[in-house]
Amino acid sequence: MKVYFKNLDGIRFCAAFLVLLQHSFGFKQGYSDSVPFVDRLFSDTGNLGVNLFFILSGFLISYLLLVEKDATGTVSYRSFYLRRVLRIWPLYLGYGLILTFVSPYVADKLGWGNDTTFPLMMLNLLFLLIFSVNMQIAFIGANRGMFEISWSVCIEEQFYLVWPLLMNNFRKKLAGLLVVMFGISVVVRVVIVFLLPHVITSWTPDRFPLMNHLLLFDKLDLFGGGLFIAMLYRQRERFATFFRVCFRPWIQVVMTLLALLYTLSLIKPHEEYFELFVDHYVCDILYGYVLLAAVIENSIYRLEKPLLKALGRVSFGIYLFHTAVCQFVLLFFRKVIGHPELRLVYDLVYPLTCLAVTGVIAWCSYNYYEMWFLKKKRKFELVFTRV
């Protein structure tokens, strides 16, 4: 029996949609501004959607590695890395190469400006190929507007480069591994944001928080949150009382509403210290609870709908394609519709059009390009009689 978690495809799509919402509203700012309340609703959904992605990925991958380790006594590194390569690399590299070589000329033709020289293009290509776009942006500042959206994909790949090794060798010391991960994330934030500015005085102050945000160390507590709920779910029979008490339907409703309010910045502070030292832990608690609530037997969620499952399967494409699509859709709206004062059009129709167009492109990419690689990936899927 293949390991499958119900409702998670729908949640995966929701995470991608949250990122699309923030960017679609961000692209239209300066042309068709929303009322302040609406702007606030979607001001941070993208960052929180990425946080949800990290926790979700940490949960899924950690759980599968736990199951494999417990069932076979080891982790097959070959199968793990081949699964990651066949799932991520084709779309990441295919689309990344197109953007690297084609988008500068498209931007120039559309009048968006093009300052990408050949050496810079080669530099972009180098960091693309070594899955380090996040470090390029953090330390060099190049690649802006090219394949910048791939920074989070690079963080995931960097994390999964070592994660199976750690899970295989520290299976009986995962609690200590969690403490180390959370500790590293805090120490590195302090060093980069508060100490490094005194050493590198030539950089502007806002560059240090951005650097911290773009590096793997800052996300260790999110991946760690995913590991924690994977450990908890793996021991669900042992903690049956906890699941029975804490996942009563009314508690699931309350926690889901809290997660929604936090995601829409209605109960989320925006102070610097909160963002640095508290935000990820709140995400671990709220989103971790939502993920567990989604997969337990008495879940209140009903996300196993054909459309949601389909959108969840193509969510990787939605995530990668949406920034380019949003900009072209906005260009179309400006040329064909105009009238930036029409808030209903630009606050509702525009983002939904972005979603529809991105979804269609992602579906085509998934079925006519990615699927060829995914069929090969199935040879290395984990199959167990009991999970």
Q: Which residues contact 232 (CB under 8 A, 6 or more apart)?
A: 239, 292
State yes or no: pLDDT of 145 exceeds 80.
Answer: no
- pLDDT, one tens digit per residue, over 264-322 is 999 999 899 999 999 999 999 999 999 999 999 999 999 999 999 999 999 999 999 99
State yes or no: pLDDT of 118 exceeds 90.
Answer: no
- The per-residue pLDDT for 74 is 95
Q: Which residues contact 201 (CB under 8 A, 6 or more apart)?
A: none
Any idea what the Cα angle at residue 170 is, between residues 220 and 56, rounded to 5°?
Answer: 40
pTM of the model: 0.95
CA dihedral for 192, 197, 199, 202, sign (positive or negative): positive
Three-class secondary structure of residue 2 per DSSP: strand
- Transcribe 219-287 into DSSP letters: GHHHHHHHHHHHHHHHTTTTTHHHHHHHT-HHHHHHHHHHHHHHHTTSS----HHHHHHTHHHHHHHHH
State yes or no: pLDDT of 355 exceeds 50.
Answer: yes
- pLDDT, one tens digit per residue, over 177-198 is 999 999 999 999 999 999 999 9
- Mean per-residue pLDDT, 347-370: 98
- The per-residue pLDDT for 107 is 72
- The per-residue pLDDT for 382 is 62
- pLDDT, one tens digit per residue, over 203-255 is 999 999 999 999 999 999 999 999 999 999 999 999 999 999 999 999 999 99
- The per-residue pLDDT for 157 is 97
- The per-residue pLDDT for 387 is 39
- The per-residue pLDDT for 106 is 75
- pLDDT, one tens digit per residue, over 70-98 is 999 999 999 999 999 999 999 999 999 99
User: Which tokens is 287 given?
Assistant: 């989103």
